[in-house]
């Protein structure tokens, strides 16, 4: 979406119940405090990141109601990242390039990022040792990526569901799921609508790279597009596998160049209701800005 004045930003809802009780077993005082954290990439054109906007340039609205911005920054904060790599039989002639591209992503990322690798075909298998849920160790991640075993069909939606669930155990507030696949789903138990909902509720940014054969009847690019659109991520459909490395490096750069804005909703959020987030920006330089964003949030955060 292109607009000089109307932007939507990524949102991640954090809820922190506060309890107080004195030593005499007095009645418990309970108060729910909710903080919404927004991440956003703002660009001028397709490649140039805009990093000179200030807090006063932004106005946040939730369900049309202006909100007070409590914190604002553009720091390169660590991210919890899931790398989901297609290991189906059709990836045979793409394997080396895809693994090299994923390793390039690791090296272009913040050294403080913590990642995991999930390989998928007819089965799902984690690349890291069982006792290592996440790591920033590049040697361990390289070894995890090299454990690909090509075989069978593609349980893409099951892999996304599992990856989102695993991401929720990470320490970092900021989370991202990156999927590299050359085909559509043809085996999963979970449905496309389920994983789109789960991704939206998770607060994680979704990035997809689909190396699709135009003749692949299982390919469904619209699912990846919806995942990226609802979460504030991005999806790419390169013409050849030789483009994947550059795309992975661009995604790493994207994650390191985002604004963070937080606010406490003025009205109490209600479970199962979807709350729309809207950001208006007044750019003092009157540039034509592009933004990818999350569209809102819900308190129903259980996938």
C-alpha–C-alpha distance, residues 110 and 255, integer Å: 9
Q: What is the structure's pLDDT at 237?
A: 95
Q: What is the structure's pLDDT at 143?
A: 98
pTM, rounded to two decimals: 0.85
C-alpha–C-alpha distance, residues 60 and 279, integer Å: 5
Q: Hey, which bits of 57-107 come out as E strands?
A: 58-62, 65-67, 69-73, 80-86
pLDDT in tens, the chain (303 residues): 433 333 334 444 443 333 333 333 333 333 344 888 889 888 998 778 999 999 999 988 899 999 999 999 999 999 999 999 999 998 999 999 999 999 999 999 999 999 999 999 999 999 999 999 999 999 999 999 999 889 999 999 999 999 999 999 999 999 999 999 998 898 999 999 999 999 988 989 999 999 988 777 678 899 999 999 889 999 999 999 999 999 999 999 999 999 999 999 988 767 778 888 888 888 999 998 887 778 788 876 443
Q: Are 289 and 184 in contact (CB under 8 A)?
A: no
Sequence-distant (≥ 6) Cβ neighbours of residue 110 within 8 angstroms: 76, 77, 78, 79, 255, 256
Q: Hey, what domains does the chain have and what are their CATH numbers?
A: 6-21+29-74+258-298 (no CATH), 80-255 (3.40.50.410)
Q: Hey, which bits of 248-287 come out as E strands?
A: 259-263, 274-281
């Amino acid at each position: 979406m292109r607009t000089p004045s109307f932007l939507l930003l990524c949102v991640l809802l954090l809820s922190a119940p506060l309890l107080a009780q004195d030593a005499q077993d007095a009645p418990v005082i309970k108060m729910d405090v909710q903080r919404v954290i927004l991440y956003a990439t703002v660009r001028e054109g397709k490649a140039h990141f805009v990093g000179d906007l200030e807090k006063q340039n932004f106005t946040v609205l939730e369900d049309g109601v202006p909100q007070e911005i409590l914190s604002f920054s553009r720091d390169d904060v660590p991210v919890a990242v899931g790398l989901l790599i297609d290991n189906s039989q059709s990836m045979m002639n793409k394997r080396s390039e895809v693994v090299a591209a994923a390793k390039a992503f690791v090296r272009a990322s913040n050294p403080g990022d913590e990642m995991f690798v999930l390989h998928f075909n007819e089965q799902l298998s984690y690349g890291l040792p069982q006792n290592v849920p996440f790591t920033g160790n590049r040697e361990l991640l390289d070894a995890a990526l090299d454990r690909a075993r090509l075989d069978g069909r593609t349980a893409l939606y099951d892999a996304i569901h599992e990856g989102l669930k695993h991401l929720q155990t990470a320490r970092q507030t900021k989370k991202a799921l990156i999927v590299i696949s050359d085909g559509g789903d043809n085996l999963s138990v979970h449905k496309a609508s389920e994983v789109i909902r789960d991704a939206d509720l998770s607060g994680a940014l979704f990035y997809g790279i689909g190396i699709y054969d135009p003749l692949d009847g299982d390919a469904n690019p619209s699912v990846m597009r919806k995942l990226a659109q609802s979460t504030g991520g991005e999806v790419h459909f390169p013409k050849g596998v030789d483009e994947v490395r550059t795309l992975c490096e661009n995604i790493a750069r994207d994650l390191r160049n985002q604004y963070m804005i937080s606010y406490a909703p003025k009205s109490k959020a209600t479970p199962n209701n979807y709350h729309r987030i809207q950001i208006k920006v007044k750019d003092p330089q009157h540039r034509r800005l592009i933004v990818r964003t999350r569209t809102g949030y819900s308190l129903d955060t259980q996938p």
